[in-house]
Structure 1
Amino acid sequence: MELSETHTLPVSQQRAWEALNDTSILRACIPGCESIEPDGENAYAVAMSAAVGPVKARFKGRMLLTDIDAPRTYTIVFEGQGGAAGFGKGNARVTLEPENDDATRLTYVATAQVGGKLAQIGSRLVDGAARKIAGEFFKRFGEQLSGQQADDANGASSAGSAMSAQNTELDQTPDSESGDEGTKRKKSWTAWISKS
């Protein structure tokens, strides 16, 4: 089985590369992923559940990153065992190319082999399931990157607003207030600002 697709990501090449190497982002984006844990240098232990046609299984496997040329490309070599459901193994060559400062084109070419019950289902169902999982991954991945970008922008503007509000608060505190009362008022004013 061979899969090849191209996706445009709404972030810089460096940010896309960092996200592809962030296990918490990958765990959130891979459909059915239960865990991704470091397992040696550039290697990860992966556990996930998947359904291919009538076969549903929990797979445990290993993912190894090779031919690393940061932040442009790497190859993922993977293998997984699904007990009675069978096994899957293969590799994927992932390439990142900048389109401009705020967009990156991700291209991958993956080849995979399956065995056991999975192989008996038929290549059309296996290919369809693989394309569906890949499609869902890239949809979630794009959303994660867009969401983080929005959070970064909101965080910067919120920090700016809080700073200017804090400066206004200091400028408007009357000198005649007693120390305790002034402190209480400042605290409640700060709390009110952080809520808005």
Structure 2
Amino acid sequence: MDMSGEQRIEAPRDVVWAALNDPEILRKCIPGCQELDKHSDTEMTAVAVIKVGPVSARFQGAVTLSDLDPPNGYRITGEGQGGVAGFAKGSAEVGLVADGDATILRYSVSAQIGGKLSQLGGRLIDATARKMSDAFFKRFAEEIAPDDAAPRSAGERISDRNRIAAQPVSAAAVPPDRRLRPETSPGLPDASVSASWVSWLNILVLAAAVIVIASVLVIGGAPRPIPAIAPAGSSIDLSSAIVLFLLLAVGYLAGRQHEASRASISDRHLLLALLARRTGAPEA
């Protein structure tokens, strides 16, 4: 597998070089890296958990730096073992080029993969490698960014939201309360009042159903599945009775809701007719 690319990092070249040789910064930036220990200026060991498609493995490996040319670049070679998942080894050329106050980092990677990882296909492996590379450089840029360019913390963002929420709202921005409620004719009951008894009835029926089912489960255990066709001569068991009770409860609620809606409309028309007769106005 071969991969190359470049990244522009908003930091001076000497800062980027120092960060590339800092094991703590590298540990934070390498996706899945759990341990990274520096034993000398050119030798490090690492432990990382890497997931490629359906294969996930914990790799233990050694990294060696060579051809050091500070702050222009170096060559890095490494090899890792992931148990039954396979192995990976390769090398990379890393170069740093100053670009004003920023740095252009160029890299060229050549790697070999064996074991189960090699059976996943080149496209999946390449896509995973590029995704990990993008994640590394994004985190790396955040780690070495100047303090004034660092992203705001979550606490600062929450403080801004609280300050905006605490600002007074003008009266013109809030509509009067009377616009929020529909106007009703004098002497006519509110529609929510005429339908409130239906809601309470629904709640009572559902509560009764829950109580009955809970009592049956406590006494007789969980219901058994009901066969599609009952054997000849068999009686309806406890599970069938529970299902029938639920169906009846749901049907009853649906019927009451429909009747209540029709009754509410009829009552409203009747009240309008009575009101029209009293005032002498034509009936609606």
Structure with bigger strand share is: 1
Question: Could you list the per-position Cα deviations for residues 71-91 of structure 1 after superposition, in whole angstroms to 9, with x for gaps in the alignment?
Answer: 001011011000000000000
1:73 is matched with 73
2:133 is matched with 134
2:96 corresponds to 1:99: no
Question: Could you list the per-position Cα deviations for residues 135-191 of structure 1 after superposition, in whole angstroms to 9, with x for gaps in the alignment?
Answer: 100010011111xx11799xxxxxxxxxxxxxxxxxxxxxxxxxxxxxxxxxxxxxx
1:59 is matched with 59
Larger radius of gyration between Structure 1 and Structure 2: 2
Identity %: 46
- C-alpha separation between the residues in 1 aligned to 2:39 and 2:50? 22
1:32 partner amino acid: G
- C-alpha separation between the residues in 2 aligned to 1:97 and 1:5? 13
Question: Could you list the per-position Cα deviations for residues 29-69 of structure 1 after superposition, in whole angstroms to 9, with x for gaps in the alignment?
Answer: 00100011023451100000010011000000011001110
- C-alpha separation between the residues in 2 aligned to 1:39 and 1:137? 22
1:25 is matched with 25
- C-alpha separation between the residues in 1 aligned to 2:144 and 2:47? 23
Q: Secondary structure at the match of 1:138?
A: helix
1:110 is matched with 109
2:125 partner amino acid: V
Which structure 2 residue ranges, 5 or more long, are not aligned? 151-284
2:118 partner amino acid: A
Q: Secondary structure at the match of 2:92?
A: strand
Q: Secondary structure at the match of 1:11?
A: coil
- C-alpha separation between the residues in 2 aligned to 1:13 and 1:6? 14
2:6 partner amino acid: T
- C-alpha separation between the residues in 2 aligned to 1:28 and 1:151? 21
2:150 corresponds to 1:150: no
What displacement does 1:7 show? Answer: 0.5
The range that moved more, 36-45 or 127-136, is 36-45
Q: Secondary structure at the match of 1:130?
A: helix
Higher relative contact order (CA 8 A, sep 6+): 1
2:37 corresponds to 1:6: no
- C-alpha separation between the residues in 2 aligned to 1:86 and 1:41? 29
- TM-score, normalisation: structure 2: 0.51
Give the number of equivalent residue pairs. 150
1:143 partner amino acid: E
1:138 partner amino acid: F
Structure 1 residue ranges (4+ consecutive) displaced by more than 4 angstroms after TM superposition: none
Q: Secondary structure at the match of 2:89?
A: strand
Q: Secondary structure at the match of 1:71?
A: coil
1:39 partner amino acid: H
1:85 is matched with 85
What's the C-alpha RMSD, in Å, of the aligned pairs? 1.5
- C-alpha separation between the residues in 1 aligned to 2:39 and 2:45? 6
- TM-score, normalisation: structure 1: 0.74
